[in-house]
């Protein structure tokens, strides 16, 4: 993707007189979202036999998951089924007791969210994790600000460049926000969600994970977030979306996984009529239907 030639000198924002050690800054914003050159259908992420406990609570029991290139994968299940935990394992926030993580076929290990992020795994958290008192551009670049000059502990931010890049990103994703200089506290819930998603996509992410991106949004705002998911897919991203709103999953996902009590109990393409889809999914969520041939079935046989 081409870079503009000059970076205008901007009002300087000097940071660091009082702040703690400057975070390492890697400026790769110009890459933005790239079309994946890898063939559709190959796995971008694979989780195998993931086990994770919190004290006596076994949050994940031998869960396998494959996300293919340019696929939207829905992840559903009742409260406490283990959805967020599984995605925190994939994004480096939790380290599983057992199980392997493969990124594009290569076995890997994440010791922190920074590790996962470096390998192109970005998570949009349920609470957005935005800084409300900063503007949209600053939020897009939070923690990886564009620096013009670094003199020891003093980093001089390239605000103009961050604004230009943030605006380009919003345009590319067709996000409707009048100015990137607006403070996040002045945005609607839907716009905040859009900024959180834009931020996750700004640095050439391979995989974007969204935990309940439509919870607590108005119907109109939900429609826009789902449009954004479609837009990201059209641009080549691979996405995992957690939602308790089954129609959201139905509208944007190619495939869907159901978790129940930390077990994967279904893994199927999203297809057919919405009513039939809902009925089938609910049956897996509540356990009325249990015909998945994996660990769940083995456990059931053991219990019998």
DSSP 8-state symbol, 31: G
Residue with smaller CB distance to Mg ion, 22 or 215: 215
Q: Which is nearer to Mg ion, 127 or 276 (CB)?
A: 127
Residue from 70, 84, 243, 266 that binds Mg ion (CB under 5 A)? 84
* Closer by beta carbon to Mg ion, 64 or else 78: 78
Query: Which of ligand ADP, Mg ion, none lies near 54, with the C-beta cut-off 5 to 8 A by kind?
Result: ligand ADP
Quote the least distance from Cβ 39 to Mg ion, whole Å. 32
CB closer to ligand ADP, 121 vs 169: 121
Closest by CA to 105, choosing from 140, 78, 66, 73, is 66
Cβ 81 to Mg ion shortest distance, Å? 8
Beta bridge partners of 211: 242
The yes or no reply on residue 85 touching Mg ion (CB under 5 A) is no
Nearest to residue 206, comparing CAs of 118, 281, 100?
Answer: 118
CB 189, CB 51: distance < 8 Å: no
92 binds, among ligand ADP, Mg ion, none (CB under 5 to 8 A by kind): none
User: With CB cut-offs between 5 and 8 Å by kind, which of ligand ADP, Mg ion, none does residue 80 bind?
Assistant: ligand ADP
- Binding segment for Mg ion (CB under 5 A), chosen from 7-15, 19-27, 65-73, 83-91, is 83-91
- Nearest alpha-carbon partner for 45 in 97, 123, 112: 123
Beta strand segments in 39-95, E: 43-54, 57-68, 72-76
User: By the criterion CB under 6 A, which residues form the site for ligand ADP?
Assistant: 54, 57, 59, 77, 79-85
Give the contacts of 273 (CB within 8 A, at least 6 positions apart).
none
Q: Report, in Å, the least distance between residue 80 CB and ligand ADP.
A: 4
Q: Which stretch binds Mg ion (CB under 5 A): 41-49, 81-89, 129-137, 185-193?
A: 81-89
Q: Which residues contact 100 (CB under 8 A, 6 or more apart)?
A: 47, 48, 49, 107
Distance separating alpha carbons of residues 163 and 74, to the nearest angstrom: 33
Instruction: List residues near Mg ion by CB under 5 A.
Output: 84
């Amino acid at each position: 993707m081409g870079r503009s030639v000059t970076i205008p000198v901007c009002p300087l924002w000097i940071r660091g007189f009082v702040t703690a050690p400057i975070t390492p800054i890697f400026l790769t914003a110009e890459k933005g979202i790239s079309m994946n050159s890898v063939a559709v259908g190959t796995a971008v992420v694979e989780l195998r036999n993931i086990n994770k406990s919190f004290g006596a609570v076994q949050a994940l029991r031998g869960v396998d998951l494959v996300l293919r290139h340019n696929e939207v994968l829905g992840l559903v299940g009742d409260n406490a089924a283990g959805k967020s935990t599984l995605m925190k394992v994939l994004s480096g926030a939790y380290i599983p007791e057992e199980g392997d993580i493969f990124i594009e076929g290569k076995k890997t290990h994440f010791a922190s969210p920074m590790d996962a992020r470096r390998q192109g795994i970005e998570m949009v958290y349920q609470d957005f994790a935005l800084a409300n008192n900063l503007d949209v551009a600053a939020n897009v670049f939070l923690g990886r600000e564009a620096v013009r000059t670094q003199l020891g502990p003093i980093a001089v931010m390239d605000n103009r460049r961050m604004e230009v890049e943030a605006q380009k990103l919003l345009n590319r994703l067709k996000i409707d926000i009048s100015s990137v200089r607006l403070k996040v506290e002045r945005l609607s819930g839907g716009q905040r969600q859009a900024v959180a998603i834009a931020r996750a996509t700004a640095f050439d992410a391979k995989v974007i994970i969204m935990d309940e991106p439509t919870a607590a949004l108005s119907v109109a705002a939900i429609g826009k977030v789902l449009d954004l998911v479609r837009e990201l897919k059209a641009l080549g991203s691979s996405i995992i979306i957690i939602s308790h709103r089954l129609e959201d999953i139905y509208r944007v996902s190619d495939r869907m996984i159901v978790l129940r009590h930390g077990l994967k109990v279904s893994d199927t393409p999203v297809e057919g009529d919405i009513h039939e889809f809902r009925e089938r999914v609910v049956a897996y969520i509540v356990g009325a239907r249990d015909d998945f041939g994996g660990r769940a079935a083995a456990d059931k046989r053991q219990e019998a």
